[in-house]
Amino acid sequence: MTERRKPKKKPKPKRPARLYRMTISTFWYNEDTHQLSEYEAHFKIPRRGDIRHVRRKLAEKGLGHFKRWLKREDKTWKPEEQYRKIKVAFEKERYARKEAAYASVRRFVMRRVKRRWVAKELPVGKMRYTKKRPKKVAKKRSTRSIKHSGS
């Protein structure tokens, strides 16, 4: 008897990689120095996939990253209602050559001085977008030693 072969499925074409750009910002009035400060973080990452899904995931990860960075940078306690004032905005996507696992993050602190904003750029950072894969650990091969009895 002849066996029927299943027709091979054509692989779906990969979605194009797109460069996503997101800005997260908030402001805070420092009563000690009587200055208004605005904190901004600009994220850039090339990814494949559905635009809505990638934007949603990038916003979730970016907000957590931004809050942790703000806590480290300012070294002051912020009430939870301050975090409700965080704004997330996306720019239009552009095509990219390949996707990446990390997003580059540019950070700024802007202070209000004599009716003008004065920006100070902080060190550039990066944020992991994908989960870390567990390392594959090679199993050690057991070597049995065979003893020969000599007569």
For the whole model, what pTM was predicted?
0.73
Question: Which residue's structure tokens are 């870390």?
Answer: 132
Domain ranges of the chain: 18-128
Q: What is the pLDDT of residue 2?
A: 65
pLDDT, the chain, mean: 83
pLDDT at position 77 is: 62
Maximum C-alpha span of the chain: 101
Per-residue pLDDT tens over the stretch 25-78: 988 877 777 888 888 999 999 999 899 999 999 999 999 899 888 888 776 666
- The answer to whether the CB of 121 falls within 8 A of the CB of 44 is no
